[in-house]
Amino acid sequence: MARLHVVTGKGGTGKTTVAAAMALALADEGQRILLVEVEGRQGLAQLFDVPPLPYVERRIAVGPAGGEVYALAVDAEAALLEYLDMYYHLGRAGKALDKVGAVDFVTTIAPGLRDVLLTGKVYEATRRKAHGRLAYDAVVLDAPPTGRIGRFLNVNHEVAGLAKVGPIRNQADAIMGMLRSDVTQVHLVTLLEEMPVQETLDAVEQLEKLDLRIGSIVVNMVRHSPLDDESLALAVKEKLPAAELTRGLRAAGITATKEMVSALAAEAHDHAVRVGLERENRDRIDALGKKVTELALLPDGIDHGALFDLAEELRS
């Protein structure tokens, strides 16, 4: 079963929220889930309304089914020094690297190497053992957006191409091995709009070419139309019966002017056009033949409680 859940999506689709809700949803009684962010935005701290997260794994929430969720904001520089120390016992040499600017170079100037370190940390946390069992039952990664996800996940393959032998090569191969195994699933968050859907389709194609497994497509912020299909069809053609609307409004105690009726009909028209586009986009998603999960739009925005509602929705 998949234990590493990589969550990506175009900016603005709510990928951080979905990643957090997924971590909460996965946290069954007695389990520990790690939620990781790698982009230095402190999105998780904002979401859970806690102070900025340090480079330490700490408990951030308990899921609806009773399991614990830990959170970690990975910092590339700290990860590099930790990595050097862990694999090469290079406490002092790490400092020397820092002094000549190599750490800076690696983590800032060559962002590709930054991705190596970030994926390396996720790999380590996913495999880590504590007290004879896995330290975490699952790891959820709030990954870079769809535009960068292929590059991000494939960076170790690129490294393997650069480093033909040596410990870096071995590490890169091991990370790539995990990412391409059934331990890992990539979930793509989208809205039913042109750009996010197009990026999702492009990302699915790209990720599958890279031999990575797609877990699900999460369609976020779904709104259900109060209009039935027949009314939608009329609204699109701007043919909603004005007489019925006028009578209906009067029956409901609203003094309906002609202007009000036509403005409400125009709102219904705009809505119907959008629903039509959303359906086209939904068809394009469905044509992928992947598992699709829907999350409803929360009209009051995202807060701590809303996150639990989303987690419940993902569990069902």
Partner 1 sequence: MSKLDLDRLIDDAGTRIIVTCGSGGVGKTTTAAALGLRAAERGRKVVVLTIDPARRLAQSLGLTELDNTPRSVADVDGSAGGRLDAMMLDMKRTFDEVVLAHATPEKAEQILANPFYVALSSSFAGTQEYMAMEKLGQLHKQAERTGEWDLIVVDTPPSRSALDFLDAPERLASLLEGRFLRLLLAPARGPFRLMSAGVNLAMSVMNKVLGAQVLTDVQTFAAAFDTLFGGFRERATKTVALLREPHTSFLVVAAPQNDALREASYFTERLREENMPLAGVVLNRVTTTHVPDLSAEKSLAAAERLEEGGKSELTAAVLRLHADKMRQVVSDHKRADRFRRGHRSIATIDVPALPDDVHDLTGLRTIGDLLTA
* Residues in region 3-22 near partner 1 by CB under 8 A: 10-13
Q: Residue 118 CB, nearest distance to partner 1 (Å)?
A: 11
- Do 29 and 67 contact (CB within 8 A), yes or no? yes
Least Cα distance to 294 among 214, 221, 226 occurs for: 221
Interface with partner 1: number of residues (CB under 8 A) = 84
> For residues 134 and 210, which CB has a smaller minimum distance to partner 1 in the complex?
210
1 interacts with partner 1 by CB under 8 A = no
Question: 59, 86, 241, 304: which one contacts partner 1 (CB under 8 A)?
Answer: 241
| Residue listed under structure tokens 């951030």 | 60
Return d(Cα 107, Cα 38) in angstroms, integer.
Answer: 12
Question: 58, 59, 209, 223: which one contacts partner 1 (CB under 8 A)?
Answer: 223
Query: Cα Rg for the chain, rounded, in angstroms?
Result: 24
Burial status of residue 154 (CB atoms within 10 A of its CB: 0-12, 13-18, 19 or more):
buried
CA torsion through residues 50, 53, 54, 59, sign: positive
- Do 5 and 22 contact (CB within 8 A), yes or no? yes
Least Cα distance to 219 among 192, 187, 198, 201 occurs for: 192
Residues 187-216 that bind partner 1 (CB under 8 A): 193-196, 198
Question: 168, 210, 292, 306: which one contacts partner 1 (CB under 8 A)?
Answer: 168
Q: What are the phi and psi torsion angles at 98 (to 5°)?
A: -60, -40
What string marks each residue from 242 to 281 as x (binds partner 1 by CB under 8 A) or -? --xx-xxx-xxxx----xx--xxxxxxxxx-xx--x----
Q: Residue 3 CB, nearest distance to partner 1 (Å)?
A: 26
167 interacts with partner 1 by CB under 8 A = yes
> For residues 27 and 261, which CB has a smaller minimum distance to partner 1 in the complex?
261
233 interacts with partner 1 by CB under 8 A = no
> For residues 90 and 183, which CB has a smaller minimum distance to partner 1 in the complex?
90
Residues 82-141 that bind partner 1 (CB under 8 A): 84, 88, 90, 92-94, 96-97, 99-102, 104-105, 108-112, 114-115
Q: Which stretch binds partner 1 (CB under 8 A): 48-56, 122-130, 221-229, 306-314?
A: 221-229
Structure tokens at 246: 């006028």
Q: Residue 47 CB, nearest distance to partner 1 (Å)?
A: 10
> For residues 78 and 227, which CB has a smaller minimum distance to partner 1 in the complex?
227
Dump the DSSP string for 200-244: HHHHHHHHHHTTPPEEEEEEEEE---SS-HHHHHHHHTT---HHH
Least Cα distance to 20 among 63, 66, 74, 67 occurs for: 63
Q: Which stretch binds partner 1 (CB under 8 A): 25-33, 36-44, 131-139, 284-292?
A: 36-44
> For residues 135 and 265, which CB has a smaller minimum distance to partner 1 in the complex?
265
CA torsion through residues 33, 39, 42, 44, sign: negative
